[in-house]
Amino acid sequence: MPRSPVGRETERVDGRLKATGAAEYSGDYRAADLAHAHLVTSTIARGTLTGIDTAAALASPGVLRVYAAPDPRLGLYPITGPLAGFVENYVPLHDAEVRFHGQAIAMVVAETPEQARDAAARVTATYDTQPPRTSIADEPHVPAGPTISGSPSSLNILAPGVASIDAALAASDVVVEAEFHQHMQHHVAMEPHATLAMWKGDQVTIYAGAQVPSAYALGMAQRLGVLPQNVRLITKYVGGGFGARVILWSDTPLAAAAAREIGRPVRLVLTREQMFTLTGHRPQLTQTVRLGASRNGVLNAVSHQSVSERPTTVTFPMTPAHATTDALYRTPNLHVDAQLAALDIPGSRAMRGPNEAPGAFALETAMDELAVATGVDPVELRLRNYATTSPSTGLPWSSKHLEECYRVGARRFGWSARSATPRSRVDGQWLYGTGMATAIYPAHRRAASVRVRLLDDDTAVVSTGISDFGTGGATMVGISGADALGIPLTRVTPEIGDTLLPQGAPAAGSSATHATVPLIVNAARDAINELKRLAVTDDRSPWHGASADDLRYERGILHGQGRSMTFGRLLATVGSPGITALAESSGDVDPGYVHHSFGAHFCEVRVNRFTGETRVTRFTTVADVGRVINSRAARSQLVGGVIFGIGHALLEENPLGLDTGRLASSTLADYLVPVNADVPDIDVHLLGRPDPVLTGPLGDGGEDVGTRSLGARGLGEIGTVGSAAAIGNAVHNATGIRVRNVPITLDKLIEHL
């Protein structure tokens, strides 16, 4: 076999197209007789529309339609059944109720985008306004319910004879208690949400960014009231998702309904301001963590409670202790609880490391406070509380090498030179400090399918309907196909991003890789077996009449009985254009194990002792994410995750006006994200230890091509989890100031410096 591309530094198969501008995103596609739509949004947070004046807009140049709520012409329907949680719980422009500030209340369709935008500005509305519910502190709290993995969001494990978590904490030698708060945060992907909808009879083709294409298309079918097979979604190139493109929002159904009603293709591109209210956000959150330990830092009790928002339209059930506090450290007494408060605000949704990033900030900051209180080095503290089985279930992990992450990361970073005394390292105006934190992220598997086709020109096509929103999914499909078939990557064409293809795994929850790779292996194996069957059954084959067991496949070539022939030549010889094999999976995993990826972050910051300006100067991340499929893309993903953590720690917040329900920021001029000046060189090291359970037996390396599991796990979000805490802990080490409310801004430091 040629050298496998697995684990190598592989350029993305679509990299040149993206770099040269040849890749077409949803807003780039052309259509004959195209019309353009623009949304009008509410200026109140709660109430009822008493009137919408559209006369001036209708009289504007180029305007074709103005749809104003409630407008029956659009023909949109509620979504029921399993998909109900995948969408907003109201039908856009269907009634006069206003549920949040920034809700779509009208839509203008015109000949050009400029005409649609200008006419939309001429639409005015009047309201019967009610006071919005906007404070998680003031509204009643209700249990969050099951987590996204189905486990309970409330958990209470007590050692024999212990009456309560409070009693366990009271019996501890050292107790740390801390409260943490963060405002809403936003995905702000580079590509705005864009839709192009084209009808042909009762069938619609939609170009839009989607992280779960199959569910997105099914949701569209229900919204539009058409059969599922009449909706095709094309989502080949997507300019960022981070969770914002997991569910079906209002924009795509509105564009498709308008296209149907006017009988022309319609494009709708959200403005950046509309992206802040119409495509989800990470929920605002208050957390309380209490740790009880012995004087040498061994945990006796851990409690993690939270209160988050529950928007009335669509909710991401924020459970920040899930997959962090209930999974990370060994303790005999464990209590976690998540509560929600109903608010009249834009819908919330998963944002990269959705529960785990805010949960890890709280837990890992509290662990650093415990290290200070006990005088135990932060790395040593974590090793003393290392969990060899899941603290909440008692089950073993399918694979865990977190201890190695700590040791390798500490060595690469130079942790041994660290001083535990705050403000002990000063260079002119700057205070320097170092911090670390643990990363953990669950490895879920989802239902998926893959098709492998061997063609008569000695190439192969690997097809699955996943989307690639910059993560390198298409390249992962190509690499895995090349490895499974034993042929060069240049002879493999990955097909993705189309619901006409076999159902792809969701590009969400860091699950696409370990859901897809084993299916590629299985489909390749079946294609090879079918090739052998064809070779011995077709009378035009030189092996006709032989036994398939006598044939050996290697490097794209069949061998046997003293003959050799490439699969392409065999197919051409027997007159077959190709062989196809399909592999499917329900996504089930071995219930006897728990499945996570792990990592360790090490960070150095400098803080100006006069102004409070904070800069990250060095960062090292070591990750245990199973076998790495593409080293270049994997490092890029982890670097991107750490950059997310820098934004979380130092820059990103969007306060809510409690009286108006309006978000303070609505552009990238006032919602701050990290730029080049905020990001140092980030040292990433991947352990590359294959997971022997999650994707099937690994074998010993002597298997036939197409029969061995690669032991991969997802890694997209692990870099985000814990990186903000490492930065916050480094800030404390530099200044002696503990900031528990992110972001860590100048005003929170300067008064104490």
**Rounded CA gap, 642 and 724, in Å?**
8
Q: Tell me if residue 717 is catalytic.
A: yes
> Pick the catalytic residue: 11, 273, 717, 751?
717
Tell which residue, 316, 148, 320, 351, has the closest CA to residue 245: 351
Tell which residue, 622, 620, 629, 631, has the closest CA to residue 597: 622
Tell which residue, 26, 76, 95, 657, has the closest CA to residue 346: 657
Question: Under DSSP, is residue 738 helix (H, G, I), strand (E, B) or coil?
Answer: coil
SS3 labels along 617-679? EEEEEEEECEECCEHHHHHHHHHHHHHHHHHHHHCCCECECCCCCCECCCCCCCCCCCCHHHC
C-alpha torsion angle, residues 629, 633, 635, 637 (rounded to 10): -110
Place of tokens 């409670």: 305
Structure tokens at 316: 């991401």
Contacts for 670 with CB less than 8 Å, ≥ 6 apart: 664
State how far the alpha carbon of 660 is from the alpha carbons of 130, 135, 280, 345, 648, in Å. Answer: 10, 11, 18, 10, 25
Question: Under DSSP, is residue 409 helix (H, G, I), strand (E, B) or coil?
Answer: helix
**Rounded CA gap, 149 and 446, in Å?**
11
Place of tokens 């130079």: 414
State how far the alpha carbon of 500 is from the alpha carbons of 102, 496, 524, in Å. Answer: 34, 10, 20
State how far the alpha carbon of 206 is from the alpha carbons of 249, 404, 630, 748, in Å. Answer: 14, 47, 31, 47
**Rounded CA gap, 97 and 77, in Å?**
16
E-strand ranges in 492-595 read 492-495, 552-554, 557-560, 563-566, 578-585
**Rounded CA gap, 391 and 604, in Å?**
31
Structure tokens at 717: 């979000």
Phi/psi at 379 (5° precision): -70, -45
- The answer to whether 252 and 220 have CB atoms below 8 angstroms apart is yes
* HSE of 52, CA atoms in CB hemisphere, 13 A: 29
> CB neighbours (10 Å) of residue 390?
18
Question: Under DSSP, is residue 127 helix (H, G, I), strand (E, B) or coil?
Answer: strand
Reported as type and span, the H/E element at residue 110 is strand 104-110
**Rounded CA gap, 72 and 690, in Å?**
55
- The answer to whether 424 and 492 have CB atoms below 8 angstroms apart is no
Peptide linkage before 82 cis (omega within 30 of 0): no
Structure tokens at 680: 């140092």
**DSSP, residue by residue, 535-565:** HHH-TTSTTTTS-GGG-EEETTEEEETTEEE
Question: Under DSSP, is residue 60 helix (H, G, I), strand (E, B) or coil?
Answer: coil
Contacts for 31 with CB less than 8 Å, ≥ 6 apart: 196, 198, 265, 267
> CB neighbours (10 Å) of residue 702?
6
444-13-275 Cα angle (round to 5): 60
- The answer to whether 580 and 451 have CB atoms below 8 angstroms apart is yes
**Rounded CA gap, 587 and 510, in Å?**
14
Active-site amino acid positions: 717
